[in-house]
Amino acid sequence: MAAINRDDVAHLARLAHIEMSAEELDRMAGELAVIVDAVKSVSEAAGDDVPATSHPIPLSNVFREDVVGHTFTAEQALSGAPDSDENRFKVPAILDEA
């Protein structure tokens, strides 16, 4: 992986909706570069005989039967919501549709 520069950090911060100051961007670019280097050393240790893995636990097919379990009431569901109306979560208008 290429080194992480300040622009990359600013880009990620914007995507993650995290506001960062100029100083924070500078500092984080340096810290992330060190972390990426540390992770890179893993690929040096792993030879061609080690397959890529996305999961540390050697399990597959952990399934649930298709049987209805518990639900919340609307009141419970909304109990932690900052705002609600008509049994629904009330959120600010967001123009950018995902």
Partner 1 sequence: MSTDATLSFEEAMEKYDPVLGFEVHVELNTQTKMFSSAPNVFGDEPNTNVNEVDLGMPGVLPVLNKTAVESSIKIGLALNCKIAESCRFARKNYFYPDTPKNFQTSQYDEPIAYDGYLDIELSDGTVFRVEIERAHMEEDAGKLTHLGGSAGRIQGADYSLVDYNRAGVPLVEIVTKPIEGAGSRAPELAKAYVAAVREIVKNLGVSDAKMERGNVRCDANVSLRPHGRERFGIRSETKNVNSLRAVEHAVRYEIQRHAAVLDSGEPVIQETRHWHEDTRTTTSGRAKSDADDYRYFPEPDLVPVVASREWVEELRATLPEPPAARRKRLQADWGYSDLEFRDVVNAGVMDEIEETIAAGATASVARKWWMGEIVGRAKNADVDPGQLGVEPATIVELNKMVEDGKINNKMASEVLDGVLAGEGTPAEIVEKRGLAVVSDDGPLLEAIDAALAAQPDVADKIRAGKLQAIGAIVGGVMKATRGQADAGRVKELILEKLGVNA
Residues that bind partner 1 (CB under 8 A): 11-12, 15-17, 54-55, 57, 59-74, 77-78, 85-98
Could you tell me the smallest distance in angstroms from the CB atom of residue 7 to partner 1? 12
Could you tell me the smallest distance in angstroms from the CB atom of residue 10 to partner 1? 11
17: left (phi over 0), alpha (psi -120 to 50) or beta: left
Q: Specify the 3-state DSSP secondary structure of 79.
A: coil
Q: Specify the 3-state DSSP secondary structure of 34.
A: helix
Q: Which residue, 21 or 73, is less far from partner 1 as judged by CB?
A: 73
Q: Which residue, 3 or 91, is less far from partner 1 as judged by CB?
A: 91
